[in-house]
């Protein structure tokens, strides 16, 4: 997991071959003015979904096998829970290949709070529980195929 300011995203483009395309999209688009919905960057490999949601008190841990998530807060504050995937049993957990998501039975062991123009990168080893907190959160989530 990486937490940083969106202004610093450029320093992470060497972590994955497709992060450069995410960076170019961020530079060439005003994320705050994007309409809610899916914005395809590279068919089947990179997209950004913008959404407005109400935060919740509790959220399940989710994990992905085929994609890296990059969560960018556009408005509001989100609390995200985390747990190292190696600390999750994974027994009896159903993986949905269509959404590349498994919901884990364990609870988060750590929490972060982040707000406008900050991002969190979640790798496959990072179980994460997004959209926790109170109030309305507008965010962009980039999905980057491994």
- Give 90's Cβ-side CA count (13 Å radius): 12
Q: What sign has the CA pseudo-torsion 99, 127, 42, 27? A: positive
Report phi then psi at 12, rounded to 5: -105, 0
The pTM assigned to this predicted structure is 0.95
Measuring CA to CA, how many Å separate 49 from each of 44, 45, 125?
Answer: 13, 13, 22
pLDDT tens by residue, 99-128 = 999 999 999 999 999 999 999 999 999 999
pLDDT tens by residue, 23-66 = 999 999 999 999 999 999 999 999 999 999 999 999 999 999 99
Pairing outcome for strands 46-54 and 136-145: antiparallel
- The residues near 14 (Cβ < 8 Å, ≥ 6 apart) are none
């Amino acid at each position: 997991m990486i937490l940083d300011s969106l202004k610093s995203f450029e320093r992470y483009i060497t972590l994955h071959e497709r992060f450069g395309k995410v960076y170019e999209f961020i530079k060439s688009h005003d994320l705050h003015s994007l309409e809610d919905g899916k914005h395809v960057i590279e068919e089947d490999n990179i997209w950004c979904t913008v959404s407005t949601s109400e935060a919740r008190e509790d959220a399940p841990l989710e994990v992905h096998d085929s994609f890296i998530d990059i969560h960018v807060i556009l408005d509001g504050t989100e609390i995200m829970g985390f747990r190292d995937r190696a600390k999750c049993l994974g027994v009896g957990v159903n993986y949905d290949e269509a959404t590349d998501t498994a919901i884990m039975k364990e609870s988060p062991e750590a929490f972060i709070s982040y707000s406008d123009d900050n991002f969190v990168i979640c790798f496959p080893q990072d179980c994460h529980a997004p959209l926790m907190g109170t109030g309305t959160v507008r965010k962009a989530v980039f999905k980057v195929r491994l």
